[in-house]
Amino acid sequence: MAAKTLNINGKQVSADEGATILEAAIEAGIKIPTLCHLDGVYDAGACRLCLVEVTGVNKLLSACTTRIAEGMEVHTDTEQLRKYRRMTLELLFAERNHTCSACVSNGHCELQALAWQNGMDHVRYDYCFPRWSVDASHPRYGLDHNRCILCTRCVRVCWHIEGAGTKNVAGRGAKSFIIDDLAQPWGDSETCTSCGKCVIACPTGALFTRGSTVAEMERDPSKLAFIVNARERKQWVV
């Protein structure tokens, strides 16, 4: 596959043709914040935290879904981008009920970590305080809609790594939420294999192992990428 050369933050970078800006940046050691990206599954551009500026383009582009082009000039850390990223993080916190001090993922949460890294010490918007439920019907796992950021990582993992197709998104806008099968309790699902991949994929405390208490949920999403790579290389074929 042919290589393309582009400029990211003043640094010359080469990447395979067809790669995204995010993939090229990661390969070059340039960090771009994101919550919905997950190695092993396709990108959806859901969180909008990876927005970048491209010279000659009059709008911000999501790095995870924009393909590179020869000679492209990309900026990933400008004052405008920092402003938008902080605003996005604040809106995520305000939209649902993120109470870090009582969360199973406290200290191991990607949303919490990005808020700290971007200097978000308060939220300037009114909190919505929606009334979302907790689905604890599954014998092993639970889903707390209050902490869901609708990154759809669990949905993509369920469909494209496990192949069960249990999880999906229902509703529109701020009223969107994760469902199992035809919006039935997770424990009643006939398609769920109880593999736990969706729990591993979750960046917050929305999906958790039952019995976990505050700060106990640690995850290793690299396991999912390992499974995908092993399948593609046919390492498990007897």
Report how far residue 15's alpha carbon sits from residue 109's, in angstroms, rounded to the nearest whole number.
30
* Structural domain includes residue 119: yes
Instruction: Going residue by residue through the chain, which has 238 residues, state the pLDDT in tens, using 9 for 90 and above.
Output: 689 999 999 999 999 999 999 999 999 999 999 999 999 999 999 999 999 999 999 999 999 999 999 999 999 999 999 999 999 999 999 999 999 999 999 999 999 999 999 999 899 999 999 999 999 999 999 999 999 999 999 999 999 999 999 999 999 999 999 999 999 999 999 999 999 999 999 999 999 999 999 999 999 999 999 999 998 888 876 5
Last residue of a domain, one of 44, 76, 108: 76
Last residue of a domain, one of 46, 76, 106: 76
Model pLDDT, residue 48? 95
* Residue 24, C-beta contacts closer than 8 angstroms, at least 6 positions apart: 6, 8, 13, 15, 68
Count of positions (residues) in the chain = 238
Q: Assess whether 126 and 222 both reside in one domain.
A: yes
Q: Assess whether 114 and 217 both reside in one domain.
A: yes
Q: Assess whether 89 and 72 both reside in one domain.
A: no
Q: How many domains, in total, are found in the chain?
A: 2
CATH number, domain containing residue 121: 3.30.70.20
Q: Assess whether 88 and 48 both reside in one domain.
A: no
Find the angle CA(32)-CA(34)-CA(35) to the nearest 5 degrees.
165
| Location of structure tokens 């082009």 | 69
* Structural domain includes residue 238: no
Contact in structure between 114 and 48 (CB atoms under 8 Å): no
Model pLDDT, residue 237? 64
Model pLDDT, residue 173? 92
CATH number, domain containing residue 61: 3.10.20.740
* Structural domain includes residue 63: yes
Q: Assess whether 109 and 138 both reside in one domain.
A: yes
Q: Assess whether 182 and 96 both reside in one domain.
A: yes
Report how far residue 60's alpha carbon sits from residue 68's, in angstroms, rounded to the nearest whole number.
14
Spatial CA neighbour of 17 closest among 72, 62, 69, 73: 69
Cβ count near 30 (within 10 Å): 18
Model pLDDT, residue 235? 81
Last residue of a domain, one of 60, 76, 92: 76
Q: Assess whether 69 and 102 both reside in one domain.
A: no
* Structural domain includes residue 111: yes
Q: Assess whether 119 and 221 both reside in one domain.
A: yes
Find the angle CA(182)-CA(94)-CA(130) to the nearest 5 degrees.
45
Model pLDDT, residue 130? 96
Report how far residue 12's alpha carbon sits from residue 171's, in angstroms, rounded to the nearest whole number.
43
Domain, as residue range, for 104 = 83-232
**Tokens for 184?**
């039935």
Contact in structure between 68 and 54 (CB atoms under 8 Å): no
